[in-house]
Amino acid sequence: MQCREAQHAISREMDGDLNWRERILLRLHLRYCWCCKRLADQFKVMRRILHGMEEKHDFGEAGKLSSDSRKKLSDALKKAAEEEDSK
Ligand SMILES: [Zn+2]
């Protein structure tokens, strides 16, 4: 699996859109590719934030987020990533 495919898979995994084969390939890739691993970690953080937002505001599916919510989400992600870095 190439990095480009892995990154695509990571974003699709967030939508629960990966089959078992893609999941395994992605896991294998993340074992040796630090760069994609990092991206996957950031997506995990984003998913956590997204879930938190859904619980509080009942946004429903991520795909239905308004552009304003998306902006807030990406800001929150950046902040969370910075916090992870400073650990
Ligand atoms: Zn990679």
76 CA from centroid of ligand 1 (Å): 24
59 CA from centroid of ligand 1 (Å): 32
Contact present, 35 and 3 (Cβ < 8 Å): yes
Contact present, 33 and 6 (Cβ < 8 Å): yes
80 CA from centroid of ligand 1 (Å): 22
- Measured on CA atoms in the order 66, 45, 5, 22, is the torsion positive or negative? negative
31 CA from centroid of ligand 1 (Å): 9
pLDDT per position as a tens digit, 9-54: 998 887 788 899 999 999 999 999 999 999 999 988 888 887 777 6
Confidence of residue 59 (pLDDT cuts 50, 70, 90): low
12 CA from centroid of ligand 1 (Å): 15
Q: Which residues contact 3 (CB under 8 A, 6 or more apart)?
A: 29, 33, 35, 36
Confidence of residue 63 (pLDDT cuts 50, 70, 90): low
Answer with the residue of higher pLDDT: 74 or 86: 74
**Using CA atoms, how far apart are residues 59 and 22, in angstroms rounded to an integer?**
28
